[in-house]
Amino acid sequence: MISRNDAQTVASPLLVSLKERLTSSPTANQNGTACLVLASQSPRRREILDMMGLAGKYSCEPPPLDESALQVELVKQNLHPSQYTRRLAEAKAHSLATAHSIEQGTRSIPIFYLGSDTVVDIDDRILEKPRDENEAKSMLRTLSGREHQVHTGVAGYRLSPDSDISLAFSFTESAHVTFANLTDADIDAYIASGEPMDKAGSYGIQGIGGQMVEQIAGDFFTVMGLPMHQTSKHLAEAIAKEYDQN
């Protein structure tokens, strides 16, 4: 029996020690190896995976999902923003796994599909990517001088060699972000840079928008778009399970 003190010292594996068991090729013929596909074209999420030492160990592909229609449906369900973003992450990964499951081809190893979605939450109001510059300006004015939350949902689906699909993991990581008081000139100049237009809440903490952030409580990478530690932990556990089975 493991005592409480012993249990506290048991460490979970991270991808840093298991990355050699990842490949971008679904036809690799190595026991205990898995293929990783990022269900996204987000340069920020690719950057984070590369920072984790996974460059060349995964492929990326946009999911065949009508995201706008799903967002409308989820809003009708009155979900908390943390649940909303996790459901979107699950849908992205599952839609791509489903599309690949019906394609002809040889899969000799399991494939993990990684989906992620990030939203800004202020007063339980979800701020997605702005539709235009006016909406970006409105969002930044709302965030100015206030604290908000950023929720990033992450999900992994496993596609087996015989085309069975199962949920490997799903979670949401949240961070608290405090903005400085912004002048109209600051907001106008930031919007003119073009950076806000493809980002939830109309800002990117890893770029010019980082100047607007006074304080952050939580994982920086959650705000950037993919919580590094938790993603590493959950993927490593899934890969380790494949290794234990072979």
Q: Which of 6, 50, 66, 117 is catalytic?
A: 117
Residues with Cβ < 8 Å from 223, sequence gap 6 or more?
118, 150, 152, 175, 177, 205, 216
Residues with Cβ < 8 Å from 36, sequence gap 6 or more?
22, 23, 24, 54, 57, 58, 59, 111, 112, 114, 235
Cα 52 from Cα 217, distance rounded (Å): 22
| Tokens 């972000």 belong to residue | 177
Cα 78 from Cα 99, distance rounded (Å): 29
Cα 49 from Cα 212, distance rounded (Å): 25
- 124 given a catalytic annotation: no
Dig out the tokens for 23 from the structure. Answer: 């490949």
Which positions are catalytic?
Answer: 117
